[in-house]
Amino acid sequence: MKTKNVIIIGAGIGGVVAAIHLAQHGIKVTVIEKNSHPGGRCDRISREGHHFDTGPTLLVMPLLYEAEFTALGISMSKVLDLQRVDPTYHLVFDDGSQLALTSDMKSLQEQLETFEHGSFEGFLRYMDEGHRHYHLGIEKLVRPDFRKASDFFKLSNLPLVHQVKPLTKHYANMSHYFDDPRLKSAFTFQDVYMGLSPFEAPATFSMMPYTELAHGVWYPKGGMYSVVEALTKLARNAGVEFIFDVAVERIEVNEKSARGVIVNGTLLEADAVLANADLPYVYQNLLPQDGQAEKLAHKRYSCSVVSFFWGLDKTYESLPPHTLFLASDYRENFESIIRDLSLPANPSLYIHAPARLDPSMAPEGQDTLIAIVPIGHISENGEQAKQSCGQDWAELRDEARGHVLRRLSSLGISDLESHIKFEINFTPPSWRKRYNLMKGSTHGLCHNLMQLGYFRPDIQHSHYRNLYFTGASTRPGTGMPTAMVSGRQSAQRIMDDLKK
C-alpha cells in the first residue's frame, strides 16, 4: 500500500505536534515554514549572549502539557528541565502597594488581609470555584473534539451553564469574593492570556488563576523556546521533514478537496493538508474566496502587544522574574485597548527578567529584560484609519517605552535606559509581518462567549474535507498547551479520514 502523505503549512506548536502524531503512525509528513526555524509566535531571539522568548514567557497549565507529552509517548520531565516559579508574580499597584502571588498559603493570607479584612476567606472560595471551572473546562471544553453539533449540544452539557458561569462576566463575578478593586484585578488580569478584557470575559476563566496557584507556574531551563526544541527533536526522530525559509503561495483545490500546496510555482501534492498558519490568514490568502474570509474578518480578535527586548550591560537583581504593574484605572485600560484599539494613558504592563531563573539567558554581569505592554490590534480599516484611530505605531511604541521606564522608576530602577546595550521591539504590524497574524492580534480570535469551545472555528474545512487546521484561532483555543491539544486532535481526524 502506498504511504500516505500529509503537508503541514507552518511549524508552530500545533503543526509540529500534529506532525509527530502522524509520523508515529507511518504517515509521510512534510512541514513547510516561511521562517528560518520552528515555533511560530513561540519564538526566540538571541543577540550578544542575550536570549529572549518572544511569545509565552512562562509555562502554565502543566497538567495539560504533561498529558499531551504523554500522548506523544514521552514524559514531559524527560525532555524539559522545569523549575517552579514561586511567587508566580509580583504585582505592583498604582498606590505603591504590592502583592506576591504565592502558593504559600500563610504568606498569601497575611498579604491579602492587609488589603481587605476577610479577603483570604473570599480567596479560598474563589479557588474552589476556579477548581470546578478548571476541571470541567478541560473535560468539557478543551479535550473533546467536537466533530458534530450533537457532540456539544447534549443533555450532559446543559449543567455547564451554571457550573462554569459562561454567561457571567469575570470581573462582575469577583464581587462575590472581594471588595477591594486591587484584589479584583489581581485575580482577573490572566484574561489577557486569552486576549480578553475581564469586563467581557466569561467567569469561566477563574480557571487560570486557580491552575497557576494550584498546579504552579513553571520555567523550563533555556526558556519557553526549549519546548519548541523538544517537540522539534521528537518530530525529526519520528521522520518528519522540515522545509524552512519557504512560503506556501496557496492551497491548490479542486471542487471537493485539496490537492496540495503551491510552492515557488510548483504543486506539491498531498493526501491531506494541515494549515498551522493563522486561520484568518489561510482563508484570506491561501484559499479561493468564498465569503469565509470576510466572515472571519468580522469576528472578534484578541488584543495585541508592544514588546521590548532589552540587552542590558548591568544586572538588576532586585527585579523578580515576573513583575506586573496593574493600573488603578483598570476598566479604562481595557476600554482603551479593546474599544479604542489604542494604548491606555496609564497602561498595565508586564516585565520578565529570565536571568533570575536561568543565568544562561544573559552574559555574566549583564541582564536580559522583556517588557510587554498590551495595546489594541490593527484597526479594521488598516492604514486608512491610522490617524482616526491614533495608530501611529512608532509614536505608540515610544509612549509604551516611556511607560515601562516610568514604572520601573517607581521601584527605584531609574538608570535602566542608560544601560540598554540594544533594543529589539515588536508592534502589531511586526506581529502581522513576522507571523502572518491577522490585525497583528497576538492571540488570534478572542475567547468571548460566542468564540469559546464548540463555537470556535472547526479544525476541518466544511467543503474541502481533506483540509484541516490547527492553531490559536481554531478549537480549542489560544495558548501553547491548547495548541498541543489542537495538533493532536487534527492529526487524529486526518488519520481517521485517511483510513476511509
DSSP letters along 345-407, please?
Answer: SS--EEEE-GGGT-GGGS-TT-EEEEEEEEE----TTGGGGTTTTT--HHHHHHHHHHHHHHH
Contact 222, 354 (CB under 8 A): no
Strands 349-352 and 322-326: antiparallel
Could you report the per-residue pLDDT of 449-482, keeping only the tens digit for each?
A: 888 888 999 999 999 999 999 999 999 999 999 9
CA-to-CA distance for 479 and 212, rounded, in angstroms?
Answer: 14
Q: Is the pLDDT of residue 97 over 60?
A: yes
Please give the average per-residue pLDDT across 395-399, as a whole number: 96
CA-to-CA distance for 93 and 348, rounded, in angstroms?
Answer: 9
Q: Is the pLDDT of residue 83 over 80?
A: yes
- Give the DSSP H/E element, type plus range, for residue 460: none
CA-to-CA distance for 385 and 483, rounded, in angstroms?
Answer: 33
Task: For residue 24, give the nearest of 236, 336, 197 by alpha carbon.
Answer: 236
The overall longest dimension of the chain from CA atoms, in Å, is 71
Question: What percentage of residues in the chain have a pLDDT greater than 90?
Answer: 87
Cα dihedral value 331, 337, 342, 346, nearest 10: 40
Which residues sit opposite 323 in a β-bridge?
90, 351
Please give the average per-residue pLDDT across 228-247, as a whole number: 98
Q: Is the pLDDT of residue 386 over 60?
A: no
pLDDT value at position 196? 85
pLDDT value at position 390? 59
Please give the average per-residue pLDDT across 234-241, as a whole number: 98
CA-to-CA distance for 174 and 206, rounded, in angstroms?
Answer: 9
At residue 205, what are phi and psi to the nearest 5 degrees?
A: -75, 10
CA-to-CA distance for 175 and 197, rounded, in angstroms?
Answer: 16
Amino acid identity at 230: A
* Distance in angstroms between the alpha carbons of the first and the last residue of the chain: 14
Query: What Rg do the C-alpha atoms of the chain give, in angstroms?
Result: 22
Q: Is the pLDDT of residue 385 over 60?
A: no
Local confidence band at 2 (pLDDT 50, 70, 90 cut-offs) = confident
Strands 349-352 and 98-101: unpaired
Local confidence band at 348 (pLDDT 50, 70, 90 cut-offs) = very high
Cα dihedral value 225, 227, 229, 232, nearest 10: -130
Local confidence band at 336 (pLDDT 50, 70, 90 cut-offs) = very high
Please give the average per-residue pLDDT across 274-294, as a whole number: 94
pLDDT value at position 453? 86
Task: For residue 442, give the nearest of 133, 194, 100 by alpha carbon.
Answer: 194
Strand, coil or helix: 133: helix
Enter the C-alpha cell of residue 319. 527585579
CA-to-CA distance for 162 and 143, rounded, in angstroms?
Answer: 20
Amino acid identity at 256: K
Handedness of CA 182, 187, 188, 194 (dihedral sign): positive
Could you report the per-residue pLDDT of 34-63, keeping only the tens digit for each?
A: 999 999 999 999 999 999 999 999 999 999
Q: Beta-carbon neighbour count of residue 454 at 10 Å? A: 17
Q: Is the pLDDT of residue 220 over 80?
A: yes
Which residues sit opposite 272 in a β-bridge?
6
Contact 197, 191 (CB under 8 A): yes
Could you report the per-residue pLDDT of 66-79, keeping only the tens digit for each?
A: 999 999 999 999 99
Could you report the per-residue pLDDT of 404-446, keeping only the tens digit for each?
A: 999 999 999 999 999 999 999 999 999 999 999 999 999 999 9
Please give the average per-residue pLDDT across 73-100, as a whole number: 97
Local confidence band at 234 (pLDDT 50, 70, 90 cut-offs) = very high
CA-to-CA distance for 30 and 239, rounded, in angstroms?
Answer: 9
Q: Beta-carbon neighbour count of residue 335 at 10 Å? A: 15
Could you report the per-residue pLDDT of 13-32, keeping only the tens digit for each?
A: 999 999 999 999 999 999 99
pLDDT value at position 122? 97
Strands 258-263 and 367-375: unpaired
Please give the average per-residue pLDDT across 293-307, as a whole number: 92
CA-to-CA distance for 156 and 147, rounded, in angstroms?
Answer: 17
At residue 426, what are phi and psi to the nearest 5 degrees?
A: -120, 135
Local confidence band at 1 (pLDDT 50, 70, 90 cut-offs) = confident
CA-to-CA distance for 341 and 328, rounded, in angstroms?
Answer: 20
pLDDT value at position 389? 54
